[in-house]
Structure 1
Amino acid sequence: MNTLKRTLLICLLSLPLLSLLGCSSPPKSDYDLDYNFSPLKTFSQVEPAQTTDPLSAARIQQSIAAALITQGFIQQDEAADFLVTYGFRVDDKPKDSGFSIGLGAGSWGSSSGASIGTSVDVPVGSDTAKIQTIQIDVLDPQTQKLIWRGSDKFTFDDGGEEKAQETNATVSKILALFPPQKKP
């Protein structure tokens, strides 16, 4: 197989992998550029207003404490260096249509060729998934002013153990951005 055909084949076979990598996005964060984050050592959690999903709220709160403690912060109820609160929402997301296009190229002996094919999946069960977005806010305890915010989301079909693990992983990814590393 000559170099051009080999390059074409590699490019075509790489398309599905590149599309999968493009589907996930990193967590986002923003912060007060003038705030000095270096002396922060202790935190206290502030529960948000009432929620209609106490299971998710408890999971998020536990995940926040675990992630911050793993990072070396100490949880204390009074006189903490910073306050942490959170919010979350669940939205419906249409599942993928199941339509795909396949491209291929190959050779056999002295012959070579290319092909294009399509397939359509027939959805079984629900045609929507759920997306849970989690937002974590860090506040200055003296002024109650927002000093850092991070958010991310994940997709799930059912609750239970899988959703609990996704919640934990998502909170950890968000808080990996805290405190912000200011560029010199």
Structure 2
Amino acid sequence: MKTLKLLPILLVFIMSSCSSVHVNADYDSKADFSQYKTYAFHKTGIDKVQISEFDKKRILRAIDNELMKKGMTKSENPDLLVNIITKERERLDVNQFNAGFGYGWGWGWSPFFWGGNQTYINSTPEGTLYIDLIDAKKKELIWEGEGVGTLTQDRARKEKQINEFVAKILAQYPPTKDKK
């Protein structure tokens, strides 16, 4: 019987540890993405982001790495300005588990409830990272990627997690034209 009571806790742990980053992107369909070869970080926008300076550096290094993989170079006179926005919230997962037979007619009928309902509430910090790409000449947003996933405070895993967020978001850049 103790094994049945531990099963829901184990399932909640497994499901929360397997969660990954969910990504989405939107873009200006009129933009010619082939013209963008260089980038720089939008310092005034990035300075406003309210996260630790260490996490900010981790994110910017990850963006540098991913954009360089795409053949882009950092420049003092860039085609694109890169900005980031972050949000954090607590995600609550409520799970109920019925550990018993219940009552009713049939084999083993009893007017009493055997076992009981178990309710488990799990609170997980969830973060959203937006990466904005702005046409430097026109000063217009041309692409925005968003990644949502669970956050960790474990310093050893944080770098890996940030790299995963950024890689999955920027995997959608440059966009492919929608098929009609």
Alignment root-mean-square deviation, CA: 2.7
In structure 2, relative to structure 1, the CA distance for the partners of 1:176 and 1:101 (3 Å cut) is farther
In structure 2, relative to structure 1, the CA distance for the partners of 1:163 and 1:36 (3 Å cut) is same
Instruction: Give 2:96's aligned residue.
Output: 99
Post-superposition offset of 1:32: 0.6
Instruction: Give 2:86's aligned residue.
Output: 88
Distance in structure 1 (CA, Å) of the matches to 2:64 and 2:97:
42
Aligned residues of 1:43 and 1:80 also touching (Cα < 8 A)? yes
Task: Confirm whether residue 163 of structure 1 aligns to residue 180 of structure 2.
Answer: no
Distance in structure 1 (CA, Å) of the matches to 2:117 and 2:74:
53
Instruction: Give 1:55's aligned residue.
Output: 54
In structure 2, list runs of 5 or more residues that go unmatched.
1-10, 100-114
Secondary structure in structure 1 of the residue aligned to 2:146: strand
Post-superposition offset of 1:128: 2.2
The structure 1 residue matched to 2:33, chosen from 33, 37, 51, is: 37
Instruction: Give 1:65's aligned residue.
Output: 64
Aligned residues of 1:41 and 1:74 also touching (Cα < 8 A)? yes
Post-superposition offset of 1:99: 3.3
Distance in structure 2 (CA, Å) of the matches to 1:83 and 1:71:
16
| TM-score (structure 1 length as normaliser) | 0.68
Aligned residues of 1:154 and 1:166 also touching (Cα < 8 A)? no
In structure 1, list runs of 5 or more residues that go unmatched.
1-15, 103-116
Distance in structure 2 (CA, Å) of the matches to 1:172 and 1:130:
20
Aligned residues of 1:129 and 1:157 also touching (Cα < 8 A)? no
**Equivalent position amino acid for 2:88 in 1:** V
Distance in structure 2 (CA, Å) of the matches to 1:98 and 1:140:
46
**Equivalent position amino acid for 1:68 in 2:** L
In structure 2, relative to structure 1, the CA distance for the partners of 1:122 and 1:27 (3 Å cut) is closer
Instruction: Give 2:104's aligned residue.
Output: none
Distance in structure 2 (CA, Å) of the matches to 1:24 and 1:101:
28
Instruction: Give 1:110's aligned residue.
Output: none
Distance in structure 1 (CA, Å) of the matches to 2:119 and 2:71:
48
Q: Which runs of 4+ in 1 moved over 6 A?
A: none
Instruction: Give 1:149's aligned residue.
Output: 144
> Matched residues, percent identical?
26
| TM-score (structure 2 length as normaliser) | 0.69
Instruction: Give 2:126's aligned residue.
Output: 131
Aligned length: 145
Distance in structure 2 (CA, Å) of the matches to 1:25 and 1:119:
32
